[in-house]
C-alpha cells in the first residue's frame, strides 16, 4: 500500500496569531509541503480542484508544474480534476505536458467533484451532470489511446481526425476515476478497467466493501485483469506524536470547514463528539499517532479486499504550516514504514 498526501490548498488562518496567510505565502508553503513529502519518501501528492473563495486550487496543472520542478521521486497528480466542467482535449494536453516535465510521475484522477460551483462558472447545466462526465471521460480515453481522434458528442464540437499533442512520457497516461458513494460510478470504472479512487469523508470505510466488490466484479465480467483493477482511497487525516495531540490540532479547522458546508447543505452543525467518533477505530478520519494511523490503514485495507494507495487529505483552515509539515514528516518516516512492514 502506497501512502501520499492530497491538498485542497485551503486558505489558512494561523491558529497562534489569528493572521490570515496570504495567497502567495500559502502557495510558497504548499510547495514546501510537497518538497518535504518527496524527501521523506511519500509515494504521491495530489492537488484538488475547487472554485470557491476558501481554496486556492482552481488551476491544479499550474501548481503541479511548479511541484514537478522542485521534486525528484514523488508522483504528482490531481485529486480530482473536475472533468465534467473541462475540455478533455485541454486536460489531456496539460497532464501530458506535466508528465514530460515530471519525467513520467503524473497521475490524472478525474471525477465530478463534491461541489457544483464549476458548472455555472463554465456555463454548464446541472441537469447534464451525469451525461457530461460520461461523454467527456469517453473522449479523454479516446485521446489517450490514439493521437488522432474521430469523435462526436453533445457537449463539445466533434473531432474529425485531428491530432492531440504532446503525448505523455507514460504510455498510457494513468487515468483514475474518482468516486463517492454511487454504485453506478463503481460499475462504470470497473467496466472501463480503470483504477478507482474512492473519496471517503464520512461514515465507516468498511461500508464501502460491497461497492469495491461491485467494481471488481464489473471489471472481471468485462474481461479486465485483476491487477488493472486497483483501488485507492482519498481520506481526511492527520498524524502527530500522540492521538490526543492530533485530534486537538486539527479539530478547530475541521469544525470551521464542516460548519460552513453543513450550513450550505442544510445539515446539523458538526460537534466534537461527531469528530471524535469519525476519528475512532472504525471512522472515516485517519487521525492519531503513527501506530494508530498505520494500524487503521492496514485494517481498512483488509476490510476492502486490498488497497493499493491511500492519499490523506490534510487541508485545514486552522492548521499551522509547521504542524502540517510535521504531519507530513511523520506520515513518511513513521507511518509508511509501519504499513510496509505489516
Share of the chain above pLDDT 90, in %: 93
Report the predicted TM-score, pTM, of the whole model to 2 decimal places: 0.96
Q: What is the pLDDT of residues 279-305, one digit of tens each?
A: 999 999 999 999 999 999 999 999 999
Chain mean position to CA 7: 8
In this prediction, residue 181 carries a pLDDT of: 87
286 strand-pairing partners: 237
In this prediction, residue 266 carries a pLDDT of: 86
In this prediction, residue 260 carries a pLDDT of: 87
Over residues 69-90, the mean pLDDT reads 97
In this prediction, residue 195 has a pLDDT band, given cuts at 50, 70 and 90, of: very high
Integer Rg of the chain from CA: 19
Over residues 234-245, the mean pLDDT reads 97
Per-domain boundaries in the chain: 2-341
Over residues 33-61, the mean pLDDT reads 97
What would the CATH number be for the domain defined by 2-341?
A: 3.20.20.30
Q: In this model, does residue 59 exceed pLDDT 90?
A: yes
Q: In this model, does residue 227 exceed pLDDT 90?
A: yes
In this prediction, residue 156 carries a pLDDT of: 94
**Are residues 330 and 24 in contact, defined by beta-carbon separation less than 8 angstroms?**
no
Q: In this model, does residue 7 exceed pLDDT 90?
A: yes
Q: In this model, does residue 312 exceed pLDDT 90?
A: yes
Distance, in Å, from the CA atom of 315 to the CA atom of 312, rounded to the nearest integer, reads 9
In this prediction, residue 246 has a pLDDT band, given cuts at 50, 70 and 90, of: very high
Give, in degrees to the nearest 5, the angle at Cα 31 between 28 and 32: 90
Contacts of 213 (CB under 8 A, 6+ apart): 305
Q: In this model, does residue 337 exceed pLDDT 90?
A: yes
Alpha-carbon distances of 23 from 6, 9, 13, 55, 325, rounded to whole Å: 18, 9, 11, 9, 18
Q: What is the pLDDT of residues 91-129, one digit of tens each?
A: 999 999 999 999 999 999 999 987 889 999 999 999 999
Alpha-carbon distances of 209 from 3, 10, 294, rounded to whole Å: 20, 30, 19
> What does pLDDT average to over the chain?
96
Over residues 133-137, the mean pLDDT reads 97
In this prediction, residue 267 has a pLDDT band, given cuts at 50, 70 and 90, of: confident
Amino acid at each position: 500500500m502506497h501512502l501520499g498526501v492530497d491538498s485542497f490548498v485551503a486558505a489558512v488562518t494561523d491558529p497562534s496569531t489569528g493572521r490570515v496567510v496570504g495567497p502567495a505565502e500559502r502557495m510558497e508553503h504548499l510547495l514546501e509541503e510537497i518538497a518535504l513529502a518527496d524527501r521523506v519518501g511519500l509515494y504521491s501528492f495530489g492537488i484538488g480542484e475547487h472554485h470557491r473563495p476558501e481554496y486556492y486550487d482552481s488551476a491544479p496543472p499550474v501548481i503541479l508544474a511548479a511541484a514537478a520542478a522542485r521534486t525528484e521521486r514523488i508522483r504528482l497528480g490531481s485529486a480530482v480534476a473536475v472533468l465534467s466542467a473541462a475540455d478533455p482535449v485541454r486536460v489531456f494536453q496539460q497532464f501530458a505536458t506535466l508528465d514530460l516535465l515530471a519525467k513520467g510521475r503524473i497521475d490524472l484522477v478525474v471525477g465530478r467533484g463534491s461541489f457544483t460551483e464549476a458548472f455555472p462558472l463554465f456555463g454548464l447545466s446541472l441537469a447534464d451532470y451525469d451525461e457530461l462526465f460520461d461523454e467527456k471521460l469517453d473522449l479523454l480515453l479516446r485521446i489517450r489511446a490514439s493521437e488522432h481522434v474521430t469523435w462526436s458528442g453533445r457537449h463539445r464540437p466533434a473531432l474529425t481526425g485531428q491530432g492531440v499533442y504532446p503525448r505523455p512520457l507514460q504510455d498510457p497516461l494513468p487515468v483514475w476515476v474518482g468516486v463517492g458513494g454511487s454504485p453506478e460510478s463503481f460499475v462504470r470504472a470497473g467496466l472501463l478497467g480503470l483504477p478507482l479512487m474512492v473519496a471517503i469523508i464520512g461514515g465507516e470505510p468498511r461500508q464501502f466493501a460491497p461497492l469495491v466488490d461491485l467494481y471488481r466484479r464489473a471489471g472481471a465480467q468485462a474481461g479486465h485483469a485483476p491487477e488493472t483493477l486497483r483501488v485507492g482511497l482519498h481520506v481526511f487525516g492527520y498524524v502527530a506524536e500522540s492521538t490526543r495531540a492530533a485530534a486537538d490540532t486539527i479539530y478547530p479547522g475541521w469544525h470551521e470547514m464542516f460548519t460552513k458546508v453543513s450550513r450550505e447543505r442544510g445539515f446539523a452543525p458538526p460537534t466534537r463528539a461527531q469528530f471524535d467518533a469519525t476519528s475512532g477505530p472504525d471512522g472515516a478520519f485517519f487521525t492519531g499517532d503513527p501506530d494508530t494511523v498505520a494500524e487503521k490503514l492496514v485494517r481498512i485495507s483488509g476490510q476492502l479486499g486490498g488497497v493499493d494507495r491511500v492519499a490523506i487529505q490534510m487541508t485545514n483552515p486552522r492548521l499551522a504550516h509547521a504542524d502540517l509539515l510535521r504531519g507530513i514528516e511523520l506520515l513518511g518516516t513513521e507511518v509508511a514504514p509501519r504499513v510496509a512492514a505489516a
